[in-house]
Structure 1
Amino acid sequence: MTILEGLKPQRVMYYFEEMSKIPRCSYDEQRISDYLSNVGKALGLEVIQDKALNIIIRKPAYKGYENSPTVILQGHMDMVGEKTDSSNHDFSKDPIKLEVEGDYIIAKETTLGADNGIAVAMALAILESKDIPHPPLEVLITSNEESGMTGAAALDPENITGKILINIDSEEEGKILVSCAGGERNLITIPVEWNETLDDEDIYEIVVSGLKGGHSGMEIDKGRGNSNKIMGRVLERLNRSIDINLYHIEGGSKSNAIPRYAKAVISMEKANIEKANLSIKEIEKELRFELLSVDKDIELSFTKTKDKKDRAFSKETTKKIISFLMLFPNGVYTMSMDIEGLVESSNNLGVVKTTDDSVTMESAIRSSVGSLKTYIADQIRLLAENLGAEWESTSSYPAWEYSRESYIRDIFKDVYKEIYNKDINIDAIHAGLECGLFKEKFVNMDMVSFGPNIYGVHAPGEKLSISSTERSYNLLSKVLEKIH
């Protein structure tokens, strides 16, 4: 017996569980791409698997729908791999451990992969179905959406014939999205100068933990703590009053996830240990007060380690790293004046890493206004130039701008009203959807985005509503039936 056996829609749940067995984090997608290709071929359908591992599966129209416009059902195959500090899950080989709690499918110690596995599962179930009336279909499942949308960027327009696209990468039932933010990934590389260590100094680890994290678009307005920024604050406070040596710093794992954990390794004269300990307790108290409503479980630990280090960052390198962490733009930048409650632009300092010769910092900029995206990137670039670091824009994707007229939007509105006797919400999102890239490639493409309720996206404990999935699948089936 499978974990999701008996849940409805049965074939959607079947495919979702099957995909959960296949490791599929960004850049590790050969296995899931091959699986999807094999499913399409087993169904006797035309399949294209391109060099970027994107999958396109074509299904002819239901009888009587041959003259209807071709509809693209679209989602992405990769997922964000985040886990709790205590988890030993290996995303390169372990299946996601699914559990059912009431109305939810949940992965307690890791991300669930409902973003965007549920879209793929819905599309596969419709491809398999024999009793859902529909126009000609092209199921487009892209690769590497979570780390730069490179699959969508590499998509050959010649492989797509449809002019209507339904993106199933939204996470709130009862609304359809008609616009999204564009984005850009920035990489800062700080060259490291090394000094020999002092034998008479003890070495300590500072750890920031207990934060909720989350999606850097969907949750950026929640005011949650960013572990990398917090670590910068801790180090600045210590370095201001105590002569510290910094050996190592790390935090976060994905630029598009609000980081939950950060660690720094430092040393200092033994006479300053008690002062450092008191400072960290003072900062922890301040942070718990500041974050009481959003991240009350934050913890700062200060622990002596037996590890010995042969070298530490120079004082100049340490100063640069702390300056970057303190001055790096982070969080909500501007709010929209046109759509109430919509974040217009933001930045997330998602990843800090130490290598043999550098410290790198990765961030994800989002904005529904292209000039603001450029403005934030320019600020980061100038910060790098003034602090003697290298700046690079590693990827960029456009915003999806609102269209005044939309046939598929009207279909969704009519069908939702017919089913629930109320209006569906029309909204925009402060997150990157591949719709922006598709709109750039296919100027006249008519698009909407929708999906079931998913909570805690990009963080351990992510969960998917079972009843919402069933309703969303039924809505999609009815919408396809109306495109006639």
Structure 2
Amino acid sequence: MNTEIRQLEPRELWNKFADLNAIPRPSKKEEGVIAFMKNFGKNLGLETIVDAVGNVIIKKPASPGMENRTTIVMQSHLDMVHQKNNDTVFDFENQGIEMYVDGDWVRAKGTTLGADNGLGVATIMAVLESSTIQHPAIEALFTIDEETGMTGAKGLKGGLLEGKILLNLDTEEDDEIGVGCAGGIDVTATRTYNEEETPEFKIGFSIEVKGLQGGHSGMQIHEGLGNANKIMNRLLFDGFENFGLRISEIDGGSLRNAIPRESKAIVAIDAIHENTFLAEINDHAEIIKSELKTMEPDLKIEVSKVETPEFIMDLGVQEGFTRAMYAAQNGVYRMSADIPDLVETSNNIAKVVVKEGEIYVGCLTRSSVESSKTDLANTLRSTFELTGCEVEFSGDYPGWTPNMKSPILKVLSKIYKDMNGEEAHVAACHAGLECGILGQNYPEMDMISFGPTIKGAHSPDERAQISSAQKYWKFVLEILKQIPAK
């Protein structure tokens, strides 16, 4: 099914990407892809290690004549974000990604593509397999679980790697050289509540928010994209005062690092207010769609009558919950004062579930400044604790502090300018790269990040640019040639 992908240039890159995308590789369920990578290294006759947490390390000696060059670590993560359109039937745990060519782009059929970070993995695989590419000694590091906790990077022990330079291949703009990134922390609010039997005079409605673009909760958090959980809360807010609205269930969003695209609620309202409710909620929906029409032209808000739910949420908890959801920060909290146009601190209200007497709100807070990350996390904690929730902080990981005097930065900047006739954009990003974590056990390693252009990561609109992959591949080959001597 991916035959046309295998015909793209550079074939060595796209063929390895097609091989990889045939292997299901959801975060925290990477057993299949770990075995695949282990067999790949062993079949090449290269030293292959699987560490205690599941990271795969494959070591390849230098090409003839390159033995005096500094040993490098080429690093990418094996897992991918699994998102699909609501009408797409797909089993991520058992099916390979179905790809197709759309002009200058490679896309997937209704799902995420896995170019993040599959193209990086495929790049390293192609280099390891080649007998003609010139390169220094390579330690290929394939980490696990980058997308849902970075536990692979956190679990990598010191002493396994000897390389002094790390090339991270997880940047998503081909004119950018990454020198820093944000850290993150999961903020999770939970509480229980009493369910009440729905009074006989109430009728049931379903409210659905769908058609949003979604996207990367770090790289795209500043773009003004709609958040389905916040939109749903706007629709429910003050519903009790106006229509006797009571919440039965809410299910919105999915992954912590994806801007939520969909949310569905089941509610009960006073039957006497049916016509007023429908008129006002549809008016409210049109206002929201008008606000977001530039960024979210496909937003749909659908209201339909359903069987009256048997149970509804305790009213006092409902009122506190909807107010906390309104007050909770979503989006950009602070822009960097030091780096132009860089988001310093943000939050994504990623997942909201209200059902059977339990509330769950999951957020991912990011910042390139540790104190600001803590400040926003405490802001969210306070907001939800005021309404009776228990709030847990977990998955804390550090940012990567930029080093503008990095020796490998100078090498890559010169190569890029020589190849393209213009300066590369040297920048920190608001995504979470593994460099900051890896640097804890390898503090002397000189790190840099780059990659091909990928758009719409963490959403079914994810796409990889073919012409950019060609540009990027040439850049990789030249970098390998010009790694400095030891």
Normalising by structure 2, report the TM-score. 0.97
Q: How far does residue 147 in structure 1 lie from its aligned partner after superposition?
A: 0.6
In the other structure, the counterpart of 2:382 is 382
Task: Please state if 1:312 is matched with 2:317.
Answer: no
Q: Give the secondary structure class of the aligned counterpart of 1:157.
A: coil
Change (3 A) 1:287 1:309: closer
In the other structure, the counterpart of 1:460 is 460
Q: Give the secondary structure class of the aligned counterpart of 1:346.
A: strand
Structure 2 counterparts to residues 432-451 of structure 1, below 5 A:
432-451=432-451
In the other structure, the counterpart of 2:45 is 44
In the other structure, the counterpart of 1:291 is 292
Task: Please state if 1:414 is matched with 2:410.
Answer: no
In the other structure, the counterpart of 1:393 is 393
In the other structure, the counterpart of 1:249 is 250
In the other structure, the counterpart of 1:124 is 125
Q: How many residues align?
A: 483
> Is 1:255–1:350's contact at 8 Å kept on the other side of the alignment?
yes
In the other structure, the counterpart of 1:68 is 69
In the other structure, the counterpart of 2:404 is 404
> Is 2:224–2:295's contact at 8 Å kept on the other side of the alignment?
yes
> Is 1:398–1:440's contact at 8 Å kept on the other side of the alignment?
no
Q: How far does residue 104 in structure 1 lie from its aligned partner after superposition?
A: 1.2
In 2, Cα distance between the equivalents of 1:56 and 1:3? 31
In 1, Cα distance between the equivalents of 2:464 and 2:404? 32
Q: How far does residue 393 in structure 1 lie from its aligned partner after superposition?
A: 1.1
> Is 2:266–2:309's contact at 8 Å kept on the other side of the alignment?
no
Aligned residue identity for 1:162:
G
> Is 1:238–1:279's contact at 8 Å kept on the other side of the alignment?
no
Q: Give the secondary structure class of the aligned counterpart of 2:159.
A: helix
In the other structure, the counterpart of 2:8 is 7
Q: How far does residue 309 in structure 1 lie from its aligned partner after superposition?
A: 3.3
CA RMSD of aligned residues (A): 1.4
> Is 2:213–2:461's contact at 8 Å kept on the other side of the alignment?
no
In 2, Cα distance between the equivalents of 1:477 and 1:393? 42
Q: Give the secondary structure class of the aligned counterpart of 2:70.
A: coil
Identity %: 38
In 2, Cα distance between the equivalents of 1:303 and 1:381? 35
In the other structure, the counterpart of 2:365 is 365
In the other structure, the counterpart of 1:214 is 215
Q: How far does residue 316 in structure 1 lie from its aligned partner after superposition?
A: 1.8
> Is 2:6–2:18's contact at 8 Å kept on the other side of the alignment?
no
In the other structure, the counterpart of 1:35 is 36
Aligned residue identity for 2:268:
S
Q: Give the secondary structure class of the aligned counterpart of 1:170.
A: coil
Q: How far does residue 355 in structure 1 lie from its aligned partner after superposition?
A: 4.7
Task: Please state if 1:329 is matched with 2:329.
Answer: yes
In the other structure, the counterpart of 2:241 is 240
> Is 2:317–2:387's contact at 8 Å kept on the other side of the alignment?
no
Q: How far does residue 199 in structure 1 lie from its aligned partner after superposition?
A: 3.4
> Is 1:202–1:268's contact at 8 Å kept on the other side of the alignment?
yes
Deviates more, 1:235-244 or 1:154-163: 235-244
Structure 2 counterparts to residues 169-318 of structure 1, below 5 A:
169-306=170-307, 308-318=308-318
> Is 1:237–1:279's contact at 8 Å kept on the other side of the alignment?
no
In the other structure, the counterpart of 1:427 is 427
Q: How far does residue 317 in structure 1 lie from its aligned partner after superposition?
A: 2.2
Residue by residue over 1:57-76, the C-alpha shift from the partner in whole angstroms, topping out at 9 and shown as x without a partner, is: 11111112222211011110
Residue by residue over 1:428-473, the C-alpha shift from the partner in whole angstroms, topping out at 9 and shown as x without a partner, is: 1111111111122222211111000111111112111112112111
In the other structure, the counterpart of 2:112 is 111
Q: How far does residue 287 in structure 1 lie from its aligned partner after superposition?
A: 0.9
Normalising by structure 1, report the TM-score. 0.97
In 2, Cα distance between the equivalents of 1:154 and 1:305? 48
In the other structure, the counterpart of 2:340 is 340
Change (3 A) 1:355 1:51: farther
Q: Give the secondary structure class of the aligned counterpart of 1:221.
A: coil
Give 5+ residue unaligned stretches, structure 1.
Answer: none
> Is 1:188–1:392's contact at 8 Å kept on the other side of the alignment?
yes
Aligned residue identity for 2:403:
S
Q: How far does residue 295 in structure 1 lie from its aligned partner after superposition?
A: 1.2
In 2, Cα distance between the equivalents of 1:143 and 1:445? 20
In 1, Cα distance between the equivalents of 2:203 and 2:355? 22
Q: Give the secondary structure class of the aligned counterpart of 2:49.
A: strand
Give 5+ residue unaligned stretches, structure 2.
Answer: none
In 2, Cα distance between the equivalents of 1:139 and 1:59? 8
Q: How far does residue 321 in structure 1 lie from its aligned partner after superposition?
A: 2.2
Q: How far does residue 246 in structure 1 lie from its aligned partner after superposition?
A: 1.0
Q: How far does residue 329 in structure 1 lie from its aligned partner after superposition?
A: 0.9
Aligned residue identity for 1:391:
V
Q: How far does residue 25 in structure 1 lie from its aligned partner after superposition?
A: 1.4
In the other structure, the counterpart of 2:21 is 20
Q: Give the secondary structure class of the aligned counterpart of 1:409.
A: helix
Q: Give the secondary structure class of the aligned counterpart of 1:249.
A: strand
